Amino acid sequence: MTDKVVLAYSGGLDTSVAIKWIREKYNLDVIALTIDVGNERDFSTVRQKALDVGAIKAEVIDGKELFVKYFIFPALQANALYEGQYPLATALSRPLMAKLLVDTAVAEGATAVAHGCTGKGNDQVRFDVAINALAPSLKIIAPAREWRMTREETIDYAQRHNIPIPITADSPYSLDENLWGKSIECGVLEDPWAEPPEEIYTWTTSPGNAPDKPEYVEIGFDKGIPVTINGQEIDGVSLIRQLNELAGKHGIGRIDHVENRLVGIKSREIYEAPAAVVLIQAHQALEAMTLSKDQLRFKQKVSQECADLIYNGLWFSSLNRDLAAYVLSSQRYVTGTVRLRLFKGNSSVVGRKSPKSLYSLGLATYDKGDEFDQSAAEGFIHLWGLPVRTQAQVQLIGEPDGPLSIPPPKQAEED
């Protein structure tokens, strides 16, 4: 009996060619596995294409709910943004795909799994590290990393083997899409000085053409998880979809990022992530009301660690589990509602409220009702400034070029 391999199949050029190529090169039966993570596609066509090209079996798994529950929402609670910009849509989907690939391989008695990543990107790292962690005995085949074909040669291979070439093969761009966002690279985008052409954007209206009237949206959170839009309860998948639509219509969520890949390359990437941008912004605004100053400062460091480990393919590590436990604990009181104004490419937080808010009007107000004891400020400042005063007296007063020595203003020249 021929051994089997489970291939993560997108329906695109590379993974279609991979079905034939694996058969020729490794003499394995290919089972195509397509995972629906919210990339709007006609999955029955994708499935049929895999069979037409030569897969012995083709399966589609709906991974949307798992993706939201175990990957997107924990990343949102962590405010995970790689290098402060990229909400990690592609990066978050890889460990889930690896898990489903491995599960399918076990169920099918396959000896190997395969994916369509090249040898230059982060995705190969995420797949391989995750697969090795989950099932070290499975062989990993990465055709696009092994075959050393250029894009033209790949198209030529497809033509010679009667593999239908998707119209998207005409496009110079490499795309990846899921619920949390769309990643766009290659083509003219490789010139970091070139403004991205409007044609690459399919999720967002150009801000200039966005509606002339602002739109308001209220997002309700329960322990850091978004659960309502404008007061209506809604499941996670639908909530993200609805916000992608709404914020995208107002031109929100375009990101132009020169990022540092794990393999050492700087690359220019464009992202569209309307829901992610709005949700992270709203979530941070609610945290500002419900976490203490020290919790907020510490959480920023945790966020950065989380983003890095997601980007770097370390999802299935104990560090991720440990950080996730901290993040989850930090969300105990992150419950409430945030109101945002969406207008011509920008979303702004214009209101927030929480039953567990640490904001106290009695302490903050300059009007009547002030509960803050201003007389206590004097003693507080006396002690707070003690080390500065001491240092000034002992070391700094009269020190040339010291921190206290600002030269006097130049005299106006007399004419």
Contacting residues toward ligand ARG, per CB under 6 A = 90-91, 122-123, 174-176, 183, 185, 269
Indicate the residue type of 270. I
| Partner residues linked to 62 by β-bridges | 36
Tokens 């929100």 belong to: 252
Give the residue with the Cβ less far from ligand ARG, 175 or 229.
Answer: 175
User: Please, what's the b/e burial string for 184-204 (b: 16 or more CB within 10 A of its CB; e: otherwise)?
Assistant: bbebebeeeeeeeeeebbebb
Q: What are the helix (H) ranges across 135-262?
A: 143-146, 151-160, 236-249
Q: How far is the CB of 174 from ligand ARG (least distance, A)?
A: 4
| C-alpha distance from residue 332 to each of 242, 279, 374 (Å) | 26, 18, 32
Q: Which of 174, 183, 267, 354 is catalytic?
A: 174
Q: How far is the CB of 91 from ligand ARG (least distance, A)?
A: 4
Give the residue with the Cβ less far from ligand ARG, 94 or 99.
Answer: 94
| C-alpha distance from residue 34 to each of 49, 114, 128, 316 (Å) | 11, 12, 18, 22
36/33 Cα distance (integer angstroms): 10
Tokens for 245? Answer: 């639509």
Tokens 């941070």 belong to: 284
Give the residue with the Cβ less far from ligand ARG, 187 or 207.
Answer: 187
Taking the alpha carbons at both ends of the chain, their separation in whole angstroms is 101
Q: How far is the CB of 258 from ligand ARG (least distance, A)?
A: 11
Give the residue with the Cβ less far from ligand ARG, 149 or 358.
Answer: 149
130/135 Cα distance (integer angstroms): 9
Give the residue with the Cβ less far from ligand ARG, 221 or 311.
Answer: 311
Q: How far is the CB of 88 from ligand ARG (least distance, A)?
A: 7
Q: Which of 16, 47, 123, 352 is catalytic?
A: 123
| Phi–psi pair at 233, nearest 5 degrees | -65, 145
Q: How far is the CB of 253 from ligand ARG (least distance, A)?
A: 15
Q: Is residue 262 a contact partner of residue 94, using CB atoms and an 8 Å limit?
A: no
Q: How far is the CB of 83 from ligand ARG (least distance, A)?
A: 11
Give the residue with the Cβ less far from ligand ARG, 38 or 220.
Answer: 38
Q: What are the helix (H) ranges across 201-340?
A: 236-249, 274-290, 293-311, 318-330
Q: Which of 10, 14, 176, 352 is catalytic?
A: 14
Tokens for 271? Answer: 């992202």
**Is 160 noted as a catalytic residue in this protein?**
no
Give the residue with the Cβ less far from ligand ARG, 122 or 303.
Answer: 122
232/349 Cα distance (integer angstroms): 19
Q: Which of 23, 47, 94, 126 is catalytic?
A: 94
Q: How far is the CB of 79 from ligand ARG (least distance, A)?
A: 17
* 3-class SS of residue 276: helix
Q: Which residues contact 334 (CB under 8 A, 6 or more apart)?
A: 77, 221, 223, 224, 283, 286, 287, 290, 291, 354
**Is 156 noted as a catalytic residue in this protein?**
no
224/218 Cα distance (integer angstroms): 15
**Is 241 noted as a catalytic residue in this protein?**
no
Give the residue with the Cβ less far from ligand ARG, 268 or 352.
Answer: 268
Q: How far is the CB of 48 from ligand ARG (least distance, A)?
A: 23
243/232 Cα distance (integer angstroms): 13
Active-site amino acid positions: 14, 94, 123, 174
